Amino acid sequence: MKNIQPKNYNQDDVAKLINEYRENPNRETVEKLAKDLGKSVRSITAKLSQLGVYKKIERKTKTGKAIISKSDLVKIINEHYNLEMPSLVKATKEDLEKMVTNL
C-alpha cells in the first residue's frame, strides 16, 4: 500500500498563484498570496519556483544601485586591459569601483 499525501495546492490555487504573481511580481504579492491561501511566504515562493514563475528579487545597496561583486569588478578591469590580474581580487571593493569608473 502506497502512502499518498494530499496536495498542498489545488488547481485553482495554482492558477491564482501564477496569474497574480505574473501581474505583479514582487514581495508584497507573495505575502498577500500567503495570507489569502493560509500558507507561509516560503511555501508560496517554493511553489512559484517549482512552477518556473518566481523571479529572484534583485538585491540593491542602500543607495539603490545593483550589487556587484568584487570578482565582477575584476573581470571588467581584466577585460578592459585584456590582461589577467588575479591579485586584484585582494584589493578593496571601494578601490576596484574607483578603477572601473575611471576606465
- SS3 call for 45: helix
- Averaged pLDDT for residues 59-84: 83
**Bridge-partner residues for 83, per DSSP?**
none
The answer on pLDDT for 12 being more than 70 is yes
CA distance 59 to 65: 9
What ranges do the domains of the chain cover?
11-50, 70-101
Inter-axis angle of helices 93-101 and 70-81, nearest 10: 40
pLDDT digits (tens, 9 = 90+) for 27-66: 889 999 999 888 899 999 998 898 888 887 777 777 777 7
| Per-residue confidence (pLDDT) for residue 3, from 0 to 100 | 60
CA distance 94 to 103: 15
Question: How confident is the prediction for the chain on average, in pLDDT?
Answer: 84
The pTM assigned to this predicted structure is 0.55
CA distance 86 to 90: 8
